Structure 1
Amino acid sequence: MIKAGIVGGTGYTGVELLRLLATHPDVTVSCITSRSEAGLPVADLYPNLRGHYDLAFSEPDVETLKSCDLVFFATPHGVAMRMVPELVSAGVRIVDLSADFRLKDLSVWADWYGMPHESGEWAEKAVYGLPEVARDAIRDAQLVANPGCYPTAIQLGFLPLLESGLVDPSRLIADAKSGASGAGRQGKIGMLHGEIGESFKAYGASGHRHLPEIRQGLSAIAQADVEVTFVPHLVPMIRGIEATLYAELKNPADFERLQTLFEERFRDEPFVDVMPQGSHPETRSVRGANHCRMALHRQEDSNIVIVSSVIDNLVKGAAGQAVQNMNIMFKLDETQGLSAPAFLP
């Protein structure tokens, strides 16, 4: 039985981790931390977990966390990088859901996150945890940097196109939309229902923190520098991301073999579903599930291939992918604890 701890349990990704791990047959959650809610029973804050946990939130304590086999960090940036070195030195394995270890260029990280990085050694050693690309490295990793939500949907959608070299890597566009839970659980006026209801807007169009992560991941896939234009949008729903991706085919005739290319690339991936060409994946079809669904399109007489990619930002975009990485790290069935279908309506 894997003894797991969660640092930062009161946000949406923290409670999603608790929900998924509650029925995982090979995991027991031994501690969950929150400075603001220390002493409060988990089920009092999250009534959906009544009967599943008798834990209370506790202050983060490194000595307590050292008794765990694995610790999930579901914290704001800047927290994990200060605690991880001591934990990994004690033999604890880490899945970090924050952005602290995703970028290899720490000067870029400092520019985007407004502080110097304090754990350069482990930033270099961290494995970027996109299972469909780095499964072998994840299996032996001590520290896994769980990908961001937008980067997950975008990288998976572009993956076969860049691996095959069929598109121009300098002309990629990612037009992505997310529900409000992507902004976290903190109280923000701009995220009140009265502010976002009946509205739809772009944000971060001049630059977003996920852009360098997306660029880094796509460049690694393409084995060449890529140029990608990424614009996120906020839509008035709770969960879900839809990324509409555009790439220019070097040879328009290649479109005829793309469906087969995508189906073959993801045939053995348990959490990627390539739908029939011309389909329109819906975010509700992955709500609460650890799946990415995608479909290919091409408009008449165009050399632009369009990929629609959908995920639940809290599951495949965060907590579900973290559990998937944990399963790989401990050589469990990769789908363990993640096999439930999406919930409708």
Structure 2
Amino acid sequence: MRVLFYEFNKMFFKQKAIIFIVLFICIKLMTLCTTASYSVETTEQNKGFYKQYLINLNGKLTAEKETSIKNEQEQIANMHSEKNNVINKYLNGQIDDSEYVLKLNKINNKMKKSEAFTIIEDQYNYIKQDPNNRYFLYTNGWTNLLASESPDIILIFLLLIVITPIFTYEYEKEMIFLILTSKKGKWITPAYKIIAASIITIILTISFSVIEYSYCKVKYGLPLGNFQLQSIVFFKNSAYHMSLMQTYLYISLIKVIGFLVFTYLIIFIAVITKKTVLTLFTSLSIIFIPYFIYFNDSIKFKLPSPLGFMIGNGYFRGTDNRQLVRGAGSFLQISKEAFILEFVYMGIMCFIFIITALCIFSKFRYSRRKKI
């Protein structure tokens, strides 16, 4: 355990990882606060009216709720008709200016909720297609939390900065010879380096998931997490019967596995190249090239690469050819068999990366240049 604590000390303080972790967490928070997010409302006023409607509608669609919606539709239709009548009377000279303004303002005040009710109508039409699996709820928080189709780029760069020097530092500072000639340097030291890298990866991945959850909870609210996953339009064709909260936990777990494989990939490349810059560039290329090639496609979730697991949510979607949120386009459902195969790929890659890294590190031959 002393070796493990030594590796953590070296990582956090000698290699300044603690500074980068704090910095990137701040960047993560700033990014969440400043980037555009998904919202079903156009104004704060609509948001208030929309939430008022949901107070009575939250949950499963019932006959009473359907009747209430149809009554509201009728009332709004009558107000539109009344407004047109007032305008026609004014144009025909049947009412004067003051009476026209008074009646029009009165009707407009009643119709302020009509835009918010349009959102309710859209949600009602969506739920009516599958009322057993789709419920009324405020969707903004869950959609922003679960429907992102890109890997966490900030976490990717943080892991690259923190993990890469764990091995390349020893090569570039020419400490590798001292390590290999020490009592535990050949196998124990690299093994503890990998364990330390694994622990920090798990902690950071979970931390970033919790940060995203907390942000969505505070800004939008994450109500009724026990409702069906299909209540969110992004997952409308999902074959899985899970709650929203269960989906978040599963996606978080999948991300942990994906970023662990990414960490082992970084280590594998580091012991081969022995150079920090080359490791950073190669690792980024392996992740981002297939991401941009298959930007709107489900293929990226089937590649023998950690990319799919680093995104996570694609394994819970169904086939969908409509453009949805955040640039999502045509998508083919990932079958359970394909997910299991991808999970096997992850296990095999972990094994190959770890064993190969240990073997290369332990068999390194250091030759001093003769001074002239």
Normalised TM-score (structure 2): 0.24
Greater share of residues in helix: 2
Give the structure, 1 or 2, with the largest relative contact order (CA under 8 Å, sep 6 or more): 2
Greater share of residues in strand: 1
If you compute each CA radius of gyration, which structure gives the higher value, 1 or 2? 2
Normalised TM-score (structure 1): 0.26
